[in-house]
Amino acid sequence: MSLKKFIYFFIPVLFFVLTSPLTSVANIVILNGLTHENTAEAGENYREGIQVQNAGTEPRSVKVYQRDYWYSFTGENRHDEAGTLPRSNAAWINYSPTLVTLQPDETVVIDFEVTVPQIDSLKGTYWSVIMVEGIQPQDTSASNGVKIHTAIRYAVQIITNIGNTGKRDLQFLGLELEADENNNQILNVALENTGERILKPELNIELFNGEGESIGVFKAERRKTYPTTSILLKLPLEGVKPGEYAAVLIADCDEDNIFGTNLTLEL
């Protein structure tokens, strides 16, 4: 499949990220990671905890609540009301506390328990997020003027895989070439998880010159994608000279779940 033919399925989207210096609320940190992934069968339950620390010098309060989580290769991501997505596991989760104040250097654990319903039709991956959000302390200063406060929140992903069930399927949505600041070509590849189970593709492309000789294998950073979500992976083609190449594009999702396509790449 040629790049020129395939590229029409790719929709480039430009988006901006606005950043500003964090206030002292940013001293709230999560110590044990933003992803908790477990495997369980229908009717089983398991328990874990989210370790939250106040790394600042003043008492800080946080509130804890649930949301669903969805994202697209275009850069769109949503934290919808818990239980909105068909594969949400939010209703399976009990957690405590919902509001806590931490003293300086204090660490608390937000305990959560996941109880998988006894439903035989459950298969694949279900997920949601527990939000841990710092509460901005009230400004008691008497000075006038506009003040900008930045509250930080963490979305801790709670992932439940039902045994080893669920169809694994991945689709190539489209490709786009771009150049970096050194004029090296980068191949952007959009992938969608059209199956029932979380996938963590390792993407690589092997290029062949006109004589059929391999000129190298180029890899992208591994990322996860949930069912119905999509991701954009970047393949740096550093050092590749301009020209036309035959290519084999492979997404290796482990456990013999490998997806690929042949294409012609013109740099």
CA pair distance 152, 182, nearest whole angstrom = 35
How many Cα atoms are found within 13 Å in the side-chain-facing hemisphere of 94? 6
CA pair distance 102, 34, nearest whole angstrom = 19
CA-nearest of 186, 234, 202, 203 to 73 is: 234
CA pair distance 158, 36, nearest whole angstrom = 5
Residue range 155-179: average pLDDT?
96
CA pair distance 5, 192, nearest whole angstrom = 19
Q: Domain residues of the chain, as ranges?
A: 24-137+146-162, 167-266
Query: How do residues 100-137 score in pLDDT, each as one tens digit?
Result: 999 999 999 999 999 999 999 999 999 999 999 998 76
pLDDT at 146: 56
pLDDT at 184: 84
Helix (H, G, I), strand (E, B), or coil: what is residue 229? coil
Domains 24-137+146-162 and 167-266 share a fold: yes
- Answer whether 189's CB lies under 8 Å from 172's CB: yes
Q: What is the DSSP secondary structure assignment for residue 92, as one 8-state letter? A: G
pLDDT at 1: 37
Query: How do residues 175-234 score in pLDDT, each as one tens digit?
Result: 999 988 888 899 999 999 999 999 999 999 999 999 999 999 999 999 999 999 999 999
CATH number of 24-137+146-162: 2.60.40.10
Q: Does the pLDDT value for residue 51 go beyond 60? A: yes
Contacts of 140 (CB under 8 A, 6+ apart): none
Architecture of domain 167-266: Sandwich (2.60)
Residue range 146-173: average pLDDT?
88
CA pair distance 212, 215, nearest whole angstrom = 9
